[in-house]
């Protein structure tokens, strides 16, 4: 009997390490997909009557050599009961890593607005990107490549006697982008993006500065300033459109 008990005890002890190994292999790996949702709203009454709404949805997928990013932004402003500003911005980009720091990219950017210099501004581009630095605290990337642009100008602001930019723009461009993210501490992130699309008709420059302060692991406060500049616009319109917003950011 004693031999049987020793045999059973030895078998049980040998099975424990194997069980631990199986448990280790069952640990789930981090998801390659991340998403964010932003929402901001402001309402003013009294001497001024205005309401504004801004929202953003974004997603990122990273696996092996591939990275895919998608983003949609919406901004709406009402003043004294009438719509004063409305715009949508959407971006989609796919990257393929070529080396430790270099990658190839393809991108699409769209901009629709009812009250700015252009009703519609679409850009597609292909090119190369380079990670200048990529550490736990700082990420800096630069991109450059050729592309194509379609723009529909805001003709509502042009009089019958004006012949300024009445035509739709369809032309090749050169696109460049520089982006940076700095995380001085775990709960704080500072970001900046500069994108330039230059063609024969005009040059468009987009800048974005953001500050993200984490409240919890899944919720953060985000302050953003977006600025869009066209070097040539119809008479009566400003070269610059900008939006400043304070949002709640939800991470998934």
Which regions in the chain score pLDDT beneath 70?
1-30, 42, 44-48, 156-166
pTM of the model: 0.76
Quote the pLDDT of residue 48. Answer: 59
**DSSP line for 117-182:** SEEEEEEEEEEEEEEEEE-SSEEEEEEEEEEEEEEEE-GGGS-TT--SS-SPEEEEEEEEEEEEEE
H or E element that contains 83: strand 82-97
Quote the pLDDT of residue 179. Answer: 96
- pLDDT tens-digit readout, 232-245: 877 777 888 888 88
Quote the pLDDT of residue 166. Answer: 67
Quote the pLDDT of residue 170. Answer: 93
Short-list 80, 92, 85, 93, CA closest to 54: 85
| Tokens (6 digits) for 102 | 């270099």
Quote the pLDDT of residue 86. Answer: 84
SS3 232: coil
- pLDDT tens-digit readout, 75-112: 888 887 788 778 899 999 999 999 999 999 999 999 88
- The domains located in the chain, with CATH, are 31-251 (2.40.160.40)
Q: At residue 30, what are phi and psi to the nearest 5 degrees?
A: -60, 145
């Amino acid at each position: 009997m004693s031999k049987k008990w020793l045999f059973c005890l030895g078998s049980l002890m040998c099975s424990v390490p194997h069980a631990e190994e199986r448990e280790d292999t069952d640990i789930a790996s981090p998801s390659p997909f991340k998403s964010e949702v932003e929402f901001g709203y402001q309402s003013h009454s009294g001497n001024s009557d205005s309401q504004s709404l801004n929202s953003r949805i974004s997603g990122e997928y990273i696996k092996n050599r591939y990275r895919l990013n998608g983003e949609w932004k919406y901004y709406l402003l009402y003043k004294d009961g009438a719509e004063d500003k409305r715009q949508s911005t959407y971006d989609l980009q796919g990257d393929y890593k070529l080396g430790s720091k270099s990658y190839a990219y393809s991108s699409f950017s769209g901009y629709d607005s009812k009250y700015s210099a252009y009703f519609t501004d679409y850009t597609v581009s292909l090119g190369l990107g380079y990670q200048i630095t990529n550490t736990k605290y700082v990420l800096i990337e630069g991109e450059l490549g050729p592309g194509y642009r379609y723009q529909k100008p805001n003709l509502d602001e042009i009089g019958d006697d004006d012949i300024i930019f009445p035509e739709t723009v369809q032309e090749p461009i050169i696109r460049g982008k520089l982006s940076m993210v700095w995380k001085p501490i775990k709960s704080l992130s500072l970001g900046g993006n500069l994108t330039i699309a230059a063609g024969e008709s005009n040059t468009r420059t987009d800048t974005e500065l953001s500050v993200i302060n984490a409240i919890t692991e899944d919720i953060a406060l985000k302050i953003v300033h977006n600025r869009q500049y066209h070097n040539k616009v119809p008479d009566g319109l400003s070269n610059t459109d900008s939006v400043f917003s304070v949002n709640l950011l939800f991470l998934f």
